[in-house]
Amino acid sequence: MIRTARYDQVAEFYVDEVGDRLDDAGTAGLLGLVGDVEGRRVLDAACGQGRVSRELARRSAVVTGIDLSAELVQRAAAVEGKQRLGIDYRVADVSAPDVLAGSVFDGVTCNFGLSDIDDLDGVLRTVRRVLRPGGFLVLSLLHPCFPGWRDIASSAWPPGEGYFQEGWWRTEVRSSRIRRAVGANHRTLSTYLNALVGNGLPVQTAAEPPPPADWLTAGPGTDPVPTFLVLRCRAEG
């Protein structure tokens, strides 16, 4: 199946908006659960413009980055051309049955990638296939239970339909400019956990980084809510 690279249309904006930042709570949480990767072969799945790939390489991992968006990978490769870290970037659908055939990795990262990937079982099958037994998958997500935050951030599920309605949708919240353009796949927490277990990738460690401090000081009625979800899973075998 040929998949549409939705990020091609927002590549310039995505790079301007996100750039090389690693200090947002989800990304920092993911890098915290990745830990020491010196000398490890790591696949950065849905690597985008390569911000996490570069950090893994700076931690002395041997990194392959894969993404569906040729526009984003081109930008990642352009940075690699200027500051060589030895990262192997590829444009491909990480959920395709034959992708990365013959490759073996010690770990896989997926930073804010799963809700953009339409075929959840497909990508998890790939992760399981390319990981050595005992290898890790560390992923971050907008928390599937995130109810939205005022006019600052869109909820995880389509308003009016509710948490249990799964599927791809596009927000209308003006400040969520990326999600307004590319949409997202909403899945419940149990769908994610069951898919991980079902594909031989049970969760070892979970973290729920809280919302940014400036959200909490934005006004009354600001009880912290589930905002990000970070999981470390171990490949059975």
Ligand X SMILES: C[S@@+](CC[C@H](N)C(=O)[O-])C[C@H]1O[C@@H](n2cnc3c(N)ncnc32)[C@H](O)[C@@H]1O
Residues near ligand X, by CB under 6 A: 3, 5, 7, 18, 46-48, 51-52, 66-69, 72, 93-95, 111-113, 116-117
Give the residue with the Cβ less far from ligand X, 3 or 218: 3
CA distances from 33 to 88, 108, 190, 233 (A): 23, 12, 21, 10
In the complex, minimum distance from the CB of residue 63 to ligand X, in angstroms, rounded to a whole number:
12
Please report how close the Cβ of residue 116 comes to ligand X at its closest, in angstroms.
4
Tell me the closest approach of the beta carbon of residue 149 to ligand X, in angstroms: 18
Residues 6 or more apart whose Cβ sits within 8 Å of residue 140: 26, 27, 29, 30, 110, 111, 112, 228, 229, 230
**Residues 49-61: b if buried by 16+ CB within 10 A, e if exposed:** bbbbbbbbbebeb
Of 98, 143, 138, nearest in space to 122 by CA: 98
Minimum separation from the CB atom of position 99 to ligand X (A) = 8
User: In a 3-state reduction of DSSP, which class is residue 232?
Assistant: strand
Query: Whose Cβ is closer to ligand X: residue 48's or residue 209's?
Result: 48
Question: To the nearest whole angstrom, how small is the minimum distance from the Cβ of residue 101 to ligand X?
Answer: 15
Please, which residue, 80 or 116, has the CB nearer to ligand X? Answer: 116
DSSP assigned state of 2: P
The tokens for 112 are 């804010």
> Cβ closer to ligand X: 67 or 80?
67
Q: Which is nearer to ligand X, 93 or 106 (CB)?
A: 93
Nearest residue relative to ligand X (C-beta): 48
Distance of closest approach, residue 69 Cβ to ligand X, in angstroms: 4
> Nearest Cα to 130, choosing from 122, 120, 139?
122
Q: Rank residues 25 and 66 by Cβ distance to ligand X and give the closer one.
A: 66
- With vertex at residue 117, the alpha carbon angle to CA 71 and CA 54, rounded to the nearest 5 degrees, is 50
Q: How far is residue 43's CA from residue 235's CA, in Å, rounded to a whole number?
A: 14
